[in-house]
Structure 1
Amino acid sequence: MREFLKGERFANYIRLRQSTFTGTFLLVEGSSDKVFYQRFVDELACELVDTSGKPSSRQNAIDTLEILEKSNFQGVLVIVDADFDRLKSLVPSSPNLLYTDTHDLETMLIQSPALDKVLAEFGSEEKIAQFKRDVRLTLCEIGISVGYLLWISQSEGLNLTFEGITFSKFIDEQTLQINELQLIREVKNKSQAYSLKDEELQKQLISQKSNNHDPWQVCCGHDLVEILSLGLRKALGTNKAADVEPNALERSLRLAYEAVYFCKTQLYCNIRTWESQNQPFKVLRNDI
């Protein structure tokens, strides 16, 4: 049975807040998501709630919505990462639940012109010209292998650990070429899953890659940022590791992301549709 304790806690908080705040409650997965959406939200009409914590920030948000909807609570909207739901042909379970356009918020940032600004700031024009490959496409080509391996782990119930893997162990820093066998071994070692056969996992990975899914639904944004961090040290730039560490790059991408980019997303359209169907509740500022 699913754990609803965190959902109950957030639901109770929102019920209490409703006694002094009559606007919209927008639930998002974490503190970085909250920082991102804060820039577009009408703070007088909408309060952001960060549902981070175990068992999962995404599930906490969805559970909270489910609990509130059962009591016909009005004016709550949830935005979560799509994750692999589109690959599973899953759609949001409620009109009050919206997904990111791509796998997650970070992939939305990288897909946008914010990446070009970050490359201009941290990259070397000469090295990028010598690279002769589209940087965004290269990030996806590498990231899709990691994404599919995670997808295989989840689908097969392998419980592999991806958090804390060292990307330089399977990506060449000079060329940004990936060694998939080394990726499999790094994940296996991190997971202490020594009984799994490298060749079998590689075979499954090749099979998944032949499906031609949209890479933006497969790739995980944090992985793409890790790859970008590696690239900006040698292949695309001359930075010290500390100057382009992933958390700092994600902050830079958020800062470089303009309102005009957000207005072109399906998520923006979906929020505006939700507002029109849930008047008088508002989420976004009028000037966005």
Structure 2
Amino acid sequence: MIEYITPERIANSIMQDRTFTGHYLIVEGNKDYKFYNKFVTKEISIKEAWGCEKVKSIINILKERNYNRAIGVIDSDFSVILEETIDCDEVFVTDFHDIEVMMLKSTALYSILDLFCSKEKMVEFFKDKDALDILMELGVEIGLLKLANKLYNLGLVFKPEKPEGNQLKYKEFVSDKDLTFLGKDSMIRTVVNYSRNRTGKVASTEDINEKLNLLSTEMYDQAHLVNGHDLTNILFILIKKVLKSSNKMLHDYNSIEDSLILTYDYCEFVKTELFSKLYLWSRDRGINFFKPELTDQVKVRSCLPLAN
């Protein structure tokens, strides 16, 4: 069971592996593994920590033991909005809230829409609307609720305790007819019902509304406010229910996320700050971190101060 895999256990397994002489990349979970595995060489071994805090703990444990062949990458989450800094040079963060937002803010979104949906239905639905704008506007609603929960300890839960558990029912506050938002009351009621008996105490609906209204007046950077898993669940509703895709590869939001990873291009990743920081870190240490396809893109774009 992944919840019982401690940072100490993972750190021990890294230090005890005498057969691997490369560097370790510690990431939060399986989707991160799939994403970064596309881009790194065989000299990099990716380890899943199963959580943001566990990534940081593993890196700190290894540093305390003078082990210098590991770095971590974590989701930014709300750190930019809350002006939180990570006091560890060996831990890097995503450009936006998480890797899913990074991918959705790229050509990968439109690639999977073309893959799953008919051109006729897309033309009819979108007209003068942009797919990313629609997703972001809906994602902001639940993003604000998640931020309120973090700031005010409202006792809300948004995901299952275990990956195989029941997911939040997004269709109860996002219409599966036309993808319109069904209102804050529907969203709060859905999340409160999902949270019951899973935390110590869930705040009253009135208190949740009050805190949510406080944050609704603020101007947050949408790319740091929205959560990628919310967006992919909403995107699944759009593709499966609204645009009525019959593609047999489409099962749930996991299908969406896996498809994004498959279609997310090298050219897109080299544009990110995360890539730049990882590239410079590895270059300065003479580490063969990224596959040639990426380093070739860097040379073509001349977007980084490459060594002579």
TM-score by length of 1: 0.90
Name 1:34's counterpart in structure 2: 33
Shift of 1:257: 0.7
Shift of 1:242: 7.9
Closer, same or farther: CA 233–152 of 1 in aligned 2, 3 Å = same
Among candidates 166, 176, 181, match of residue 179 of structure 2: 176
Q: Which runs of 5+ in 2 are unaligned?
A: 160-166, 295-308
Name 1:23's counterpart in structure 2: 22
Name 1:251's counterpart in structure 2: 258
1:39-82 Cα deviation digits (max 9, x unpaired) = 11111x21111112xxxx21111100011111222121100111
Shift of 1:94: 1.1
Closer, same or farther: CA 187–240 of 1 in aligned 2, 3 Å = farther
- Quick one: distance in 2 between partners of 1:116 and 1:5? 37
Q: Does 1:153 align with 2:182?
A: no
Among candidates 184, 191, 194, match of residue 187 of structure 1: 191
Confirm or deny: 8 A CA contact 2:140 2:225 kept in the other structure.
yes
Confirm or deny: 8 A CA contact 2:22 2:69 kept in the other structure.
yes
| Partner SS for 1:78 | strand
- Quick one: distance in 2 between partners of 1:100 and 1:285? 19
Among candidates 95, 98, 110, match of residue 89 of structure 2: 95
Amino acid at match of 1:123: C
Confirm or deny: 8 A CA contact 2:155 2:203 kept in the other structure.
no
Name 1:84's counterpart in structure 2: 78
Name 1:50's counterpart in structure 2: 48
Identity among equivalent positions (%) equals: 28
- Quick one: distance in 2 between partners of 1:202 and 1:176? 23
Name 1:7's counterpart in structure 2: 7
Q: Does 1:271 align with 2:275?
A: no
Shift of 1:282: 3.3
Shift of 1:4: 11
Greater displacement, 238-247 / 133-142: 238-247
- Quick one: distance in 1 between partners of 2:251 and 2:269? 25
Greater displacement, 240-249 / 207-216: 240-249
- Quick one: distance in 2 between partners of 1:265 and 1:174? 35
- Quick one: distance in 1 between partners of 2:202 and 2:12? 45
| Partner SS for 2:242 | coil
Name 1:140's counterpart in structure 2: 136
| Partner SS for 1:27 | strand
Name 2:100's counterpart in structure 1: 106
Q: Which runs of 5+ in 1 are unaligned?
A: none
Shift of 1:27: 0.6
Confirm or deny: 8 A CA contact 1:26 1:47 kept in the other structure.
yes
Amino acid at match of 1:219: V
Confirm or deny: 8 A CA contact 1:140 1:219 kept in the other structure.
yes
Q: Does 1:60 align with 2:60?
A: no
Confirm or deny: 8 A CA contact 1:75 1:281 kept in the other structure.
no
| Partner SS for 1:190 | helix
1:118-153 Cα deviation digits (max 9, x unpaired) = 011112323322333211011111111111111111
Amino acid at match of 2:286: P
Name 2:222's counterpart in structure 1: 215
| Partner SS for 2:292 | coil
Name 1:287's counterpart in structure 2: 293
Amino acid at match of 1:104: D
Confirm or deny: 8 A CA contact 1:27 1:50 kept in the other structure.
yes
Shift of 1:171: 1.1
Confirm or deny: 8 A CA contact 2:195 2:202 kept in the other structure.
no
Greater displacement, 224-233 / 204-213: 204-213
- Quick one: distance in 1 between partners of 2:234 and 2:63? 40
- The root-mean-square deviation of aligned C-alpha atoms, in Å, is 2.2
- Quick one: distance in 2 between partners of 1:5 and 1:241? 35
- Quick one: distance in 1 between partners of 2:274 and 2:29? 17
Shift of 1:210: 2.4
| Partner SS for 2:293 | coil
Amino acid at match of 1:128: M
- Quick one: distance in 1 between partners of 2:276 and 2:142? 30
Residue-pair matches, total: 279
Confirm or deny: 8 A CA contact 2:152 2:211 kept in the other structure.
no
